[in-house]
Structure 1
Amino acid sequence: MGIYQHNVTLNNGQATTLEAYKGKVLLIVNTASKCGFTPQYEGLEALYKKHKESGLEILGFPCDQFGHQEPGSDDDIAQFCTMNFGVTFPLFKKTEVNGPNANPLFVELKNKAPGLLGSKRIKWNFTKFLVNAEGKVLKRYAPTAKPSDIEKDIVKLLG
């Protein structure tokens, strides 16, 4: 299954597919509001504002599988992200990234860009996946990778 065939649901309940982002460079991130890495929302938003006109889309997928750090509803999450970090990039419905109920998009991302030592499992919030404009999953970044650390890779893809 290609990356663009995945069905996803925006935070507001609107169903779509990743086809809507075809031709864009994507940074797909599993996020959380009560995590030590939560301040990365600020860096992600800065990247988005700086490069969105050049073809970057950042897709945020809130996840509550790591230390119960995303306990709120989809509305709570959207409000938190907007009020605290001015997030304007798309946020999706809360999802699972590991286990039997893992979102198929994250299953594909993990298979195409395994982690350290070939590990498929996502280890924590704010794991990031870079996808080129043709839909090829290129790289996985650890939660500790700051958005600014990824910028050079994004700029190369944006041409």
Structure 2
Amino acid sequence: MNVLQESFNNFDVLAFPCNQFGQQEPGANGEEINNGITHVRPGKGFEPSFTMFKKIEVNGNKEHPLYTYLKTYCPSTRQNFADTNRLFYSPLRNSDVRWNWEKFLISKSGKPFIRYDPSTKPQDIRNDILFLLQQKS
């Protein structure tokens, strides 16, 4: 996502850590999460050039209202859930984020435009970003 953040003016990548998927984000907010990113996953000294917010829940009974809003406009990218033994929330809903690194592209007016599967590579989002940046507000 760094490459997208650094490639466009008037475009921001916003990241919201979440520990609901395989408990892959157990760290406390701030330095502990940043150390995990830098040294573990993706590791190798990675430093995000985008804004990292505090950890939130994106699904279930304690779902953050931002994700309720995003999911209202963009259907899930997968029919099935990952191994439900590795999902740490309830209840399961069809609209749920399926795994870490699911992405939402938002228009200048704040409306969700499209939702990307966790496996979507940043370069596969580039044309959609260009399209939205060319639109009038």
**SS of structure 2 residue aligned to 1:155:** helix
- Give the conservation status (yes or no) of the 8 Å contact 1:82–1:88: no
The answer on 1:79 being equivalent to 2:54 is: no
Structure 1 residues 82 and 88 mapped into 2: Cα distance closer, same or farther (>3 Å)? farther
Written as runs of structure 1 = structure 2, the 5 A alignment for 1:1-20 is: none
Whichever residue aligns with residue 52 of structure 2, its letter is: L
> What are structure 2's unaligned runs of at least 5 residues?
40-44, 80-92
> What are structure 1's unaligned runs of at least 5 residues?
1-43
The answer on 1:155 being equivalent to 2:130 is: yes
Written as runs of structure 1 = structure 2, the 5 A alignment for 1:61-140 is: 61-74=16-29, 75-81=31-37, 84-116=45-77, 119-140=94-115
Q: Which has the higher helix share?
A: 1
Q: Distance in 2 between matches of 1:80 and 1:115?
A: 28
2:6 corresponds in structure 1 to 49
| Structure number with bigger Rg | 2
| Percent of residue pairs bearing the same amino acid type | 40
- Give the conservation status (yes or no) of the 8 Å contact 1:131–1:137: yes
- Give the conservation status (yes or no) of the 8 Å contact 1:45–1:85: no
Alignment size in residue pairs: 114
TM-score, reference length from structure 2 = 0.77
Deviations 1:38-68 (A, max 9, x none): xxxxxx01110111xx211100000000001
Q: Distance in 2 between matches of 1:119 and 1:142?
A: 14
| CA RMSD of superposed structures (Å) | 1.7
**SS of structure 2 residue aligned to 1:94:** coil
Deviation at 1:132, TM superposition (A): 0.6
Deviation at 1:81, TM superposition (A): 3.6
Deviation at 1:157, TM superposition (A): 1.2
Q: Which has the higher strand share?
A: 1
- Runs of 4+ in structure 1 off by over 4 angstroms are none
Deviations 1:92-148 (A, max 9, x none): 111100001001000110111111469311110001001010111111000010111
**SS of structure 1 residue aligned to 2:52:** coil
Q: Distance in 2 between matches of 1:157 and 1:80?
A: 32
Deviation at 1:79, TM superposition (A): 3.4
